Structure 1
Amino acid sequence: MTNDYLQTQLQQLCQLLQPLQFGVGGSCLLWQLGLEAAPADIDIVCSEQDYAAIAGRLAASYSQQPMPAHPDYLSAHYGRFSRAGWPDIDLMAGIAVQQHGSISRWQFTPQRCHWQNGVCWMPPADWLQLYQLFNRPERVAQLRQYLVQLRLGSLS
């Protein structure tokens, strides 16, 4: 899949989901930041209020995949959608993870997202928090390094 093709897919997806509250993150965000060569899937986080409407729009053009329950991921809403020629789309809202016997919740703030080239991107700092919550140390390290370099660059 070429970068232009993925960019076009993300633009089409974001156009389909407007004006609902959502943001694209995960490996696509890392790709957009130049930290990932080829995203594995498209991660979309949305508000709990908009989850049903977004899932409905996706279900009209994509096949919803059955997902087995995960023992530690306790998000209020999660769905995976697929379509030939596209990366899978993971849609999530009300994110919660069980860690060390307690449940940690993460609140999506759509106002932190920004539109760039027809795609609604989540901020890297939000995905740093999510990757910490999801226990993804490699991704945490990538984003920490990126954010440090970003801060250093803004100081010079």
Structure 2
Amino acid sequence: MNDNNLPAQLQQLCGLLQPFQFGVGGSCLLWQLGLETAPNDIDIVCAETDFAAIYQLLSVSFQPQLTAAHAEYASANFARFSRAGWPDIELMAGIAVKQNNAVVNWVFKPQHCHWHNGICWMPPADWLQLYQLFNRPHRVAQLRRYLVQLRLNSLG
């Protein structure tokens, strides 16, 4: 992925989605925080009530991709989109994961998101929870270190 285009692509995408409740997270958030050098894709979490409208809007400019069912992920809504020159976009809502014969739900709180330079970012603490839920220990460690350093800096 060409990082040089990423800020403009994220701004364009967020401008398109501005009427909806959503936030950008995942590896783009880690990249924005300086924890990752090259994002894998663009992760967008949205309110379940906005998923269908966002899906339709993205389908105009991006190609929806078939995604195989995941053994552990049980989210209510998930879609992947692609377009030449862009990282894949993963749109998700109603996030849930199967753990120990139960389904654990995670609730998106759009009021936690904030706009910065034309991009609607999810907070790192929310992605810490998500990466814990997704069983991604490397990402959990990255965000824990970041949040501890942030706390130390704010005390200092």
Fold-level similarity (TM above 0.5): yes
- Report percent identity of matched pairs: 70
Q: How do 1:41-80 residues align onto structure 2 when only pairs under 5 Å count?
A: 41-80=41-80
Report SS of the residue matched to 1:104: strand
User: Partners of 1:77 and 1:101 in 2: how far apart?
Assistant: 20
| Residues 99-120 of structure 1: per-residue CA shift (max 9 Å, x gap) | 1111100000000000000000
1:43–1:96: structure 2 CA closer, same or farther, 3 Å change rule? same
Unaligned residue ranges in structure 2 (runs of 5+):
none
The letter of the residue matching 2:110 is P
Q: Which residue of 1 aligns with 2:28?
A: 28
The alpha carbon displacement at 1:4 in A equals 3.5
User: Partners of 1:4 and 1:46 in 2: how far apart?
Assistant: 26
The letter of the residue matching 1:19 is P
Q: Which residue of 1 aligns with 2:105?
A: 105
Q: Which residue of 2 aligns with 1:134?
A: 134
Question: Does residue 148 in structure 1 map to residue 142 in structure 2?
Answer: no
| Residues 69-100 of structure 1: per-residue CA shift (max 9 Å, x gap) | 11110000000000000000000000000011
State the TM-score, normalizing by the size of structure 1. Answer: 0.98
Unaligned residue ranges in structure 1 (runs of 5+):
none
State the TM-score, normalizing by the size of structure 2. Answer: 0.98
The letter of the residue matching 2:38 is A
User: Partners of 2:4 and 2:153 in 1: how far apart?
Assistant: 27
Q: Which residue of 1 aligns with 2:17?
A: 17
User: Partners of 1:54 and 1:112 in 2: how far apart?
Assistant: 20
The alpha carbon displacement at 1:3 in A equals 3.5
| Residues 17-59 of structure 1: per-residue CA shift (max 9 Å, x gap) | 1110000000000000000000010000000000001111100
Q: How do 1:113-132 residues align onto structure 2 when only pairs under 5 Å count?
A: 113-132=113-132
The letter of the residue matching 2:72 is D
The alpha carbon displacement at 1:2 in A equals 4.4
The alpha carbon displacement at 1:11 in A equals 0.2
Deviation beyond 6 Å, 4+ runs, structure 1:
none
Counting matched residue pairs gives 156
